[in-house]
């Protein structure tokens, strides 16, 4: 598997790359369980920080055995997003994940004009994470994405964030600015690179920030190629802010099923998802 990962060296149009960013739920909060550690080598992760404990070096591709964010993070929706794609895409296609996420951060951390000011006031525990990304998570994600583009083609962007921006009616506009800047910096076309944003722990699970979902659901109204992933029924952790491992598996599968449809493929599996306003949300 390691040999397979390290042979990726030239751009391959059959290597589909997905960028992931957000806060703790995208970073991965649940403990990784034995069933999560068997991974098809067609699912790859670009290591974005040096992880001696995982025997991974920043900037190299590896079979996507979790954790997929940093060295000691947990299970993330990106895990089962990728597995869902691999299970349903043709055998000659490979999927790559690039995940830069920071627990507890507001969306402002990924805005170019507010990142430094936000980091300057961040608590020490968060600042340590930010510093792992060179003090600039957005810039780090773009740098890693440019590196990934040498090997494959970026096909989509995944976001899970909002718990730290409760009731922020400007959240959709802030996300739009980040998305547009990312497209510009990576020379991508909006019509070819959808943005998939997951809802927070839902009201039916007692989610403490479930009210924010009403704002997240409006994202397709400001980004034509945005899709919201429904979190209803995804089990929550006791804190009612994070998902359990099973919750991440369910939510990640929903991200994957939505992306499969956007790529023009079908799956025998079904899961409730929300589409964008252009398709009758």
Of these residues, 9, 113, 239, 268, which one is catalytic? 239
- Give the pLDDT score at 11: 83
- Give the pLDDT score at 119: 93
Per-residue CA distances from 166 to 13, 197, 202 (Å): 39, 16, 14
Write out the H or E segment, with its range, that includes residue 94: strand 94-101
Please check the confidence at residue 9 and state whether its pLDDT lies above 90: no
CB 160 within 8 A of CB 77: yes
Contacts of 56 (CB under 8 A, 6+ apart): 47, 50, 62
Question: What is the spatial distance between Cα 160 and Cα 22, in angstroms, rounded to a whole number?
Answer: 5
Of these residues, 24, 101, 202, 231, which one is catalytic? 24
- Give the pLDDT score at 42: 98
**Structural domains in the chain (count):** 1
Please check the confidence at residue 5 and state whether its pLDDT lies above 80: no
CB 48 within 8 A of CB 140: yes
The pair of structure tokens assigned to 205 is 């699970």
The verdict on whether 242 is a catalytic residue reads: yes
Question: What is the spatial distance between Cα 113 and Cα 85, in angstroms, rounded to a whole number?
Answer: 35
- Give the pLDDT score at 146: 98
Contacts of 88 (CB under 8 A, 6+ apart): 256, 260, 265, 266, 267, 269
CB 232 within 8 A of CB 202: yes
The pair of structure tokens assigned to 7 is 């042979």
- Give the pLDDT score at 267: 81
The pair of structure tokens assigned to 144 is 């890693």
Q: Where are the alpha helices (DSSP H) in the chain?
A: 2-6, 24-27, 77-88, 115-120, 124-132, 137-149, 171-185, 213-216, 219-222, 245-263
- Give the pLDDT score at 278: 37
Among 245, 56, 19, residue whose Cα is nearest residue 147? 19
* CATH number for position 209: 3.40.50.1110
pLDDT digits (tens, 9 = 90+) for 249-275: 999 999 999 999 999 998 866 544 444
Of these residues, 79, 136, 231, 242, which one is catalytic? 242
- Give the pLDDT score at 180: 98
- Give the pLDDT score at 258: 98
- Give the pLDDT score at 271: 47
- Give the pLDDT score at 270: 52
The verdict on whether 36 is a catalytic residue reads: no
More confident residue, 270 or 35: 35
Please check the confidence at residue 176 and state whether its pLDDT lies above 60: yes
Provide the domain limits for residue 266. 2-279
Confidence of residue 6 (pLDDT cuts 50, 70, 90): very low
More confident residue, 15 or 274: 15
Please check the confidence at residue 13 and state whether its pLDDT lies above 70: yes
More confident residue, 272 or 39: 39
- Give the pLDDT score at 266: 85
The verdict on whether 24 is a catalytic residue reads: yes
pLDDT digits (tens, 9 = 90+) for 85-117: 999 999 999 999 999 999 999 999 999 999 999
Cα 233 → chain centroid: 20
- Give the pLDDT score at 10: 73
pLDDT digits (tens, 9 = 90+) for 110-142: 999 999 999 999 999 999 999 999 999 999 999
């Amino acid at each position: 598997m390691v040999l397979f990962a390290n042979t990726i060296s030239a751009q391959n149009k059959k290597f589909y790359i997905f960028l992931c960013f957000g806060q703790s739920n995208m970073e991965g909060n649940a403990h990784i369980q034995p069933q999560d550690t068997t991974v098809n080598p067609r699912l790859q992760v670009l290591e974005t920080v040096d992880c001696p404990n995982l025997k991974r070096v920043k900037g190299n591709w590896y079979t996507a055995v979790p954790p997929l964010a940093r060295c000691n993070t947990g299970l993330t929706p990106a895990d089962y997003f990728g597995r869902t794609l691999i299970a349903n895409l043709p055998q000659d296609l490979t999927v790559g994940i690039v995940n830069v996420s920071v627990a507890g951060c507001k969306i402002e951390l990924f805005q170019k004009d507010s990142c430094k000011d936000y980091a300057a006031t961040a608590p020490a525990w968060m600042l340590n994470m930010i510093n792992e990304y060179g003090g600039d998570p957005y810039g780090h994600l773009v740098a890693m994405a440019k590196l990934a583009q040498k090997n494959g083609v970026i096909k989509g962007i995944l976001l899970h964030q909002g718990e730290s921006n409760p009731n922020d009616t400007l959240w959709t506009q802030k996300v739009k600015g980040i998305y547009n800047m990312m497209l510009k910096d990576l020379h991508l076309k909006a019509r070819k690179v959808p943005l998939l944003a997951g809802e927070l722990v839902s009201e039916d699970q007692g989610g403490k920030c479930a009210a924010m979902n009403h704002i997240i659901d409006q994202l397709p109204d400001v980004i034509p190629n945005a899709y919201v992933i429904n979190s209803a029924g995804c089990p929550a952790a006791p804190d009612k802010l994070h998902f359990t491992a099973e919750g991440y598996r369910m939510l990640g599968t929903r991200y994957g099923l939505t992306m499969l449809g956007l790529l023009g493929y079908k799956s025998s599996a079904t899961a409730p998802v929300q589409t964008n306003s252009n398709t009758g949300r």
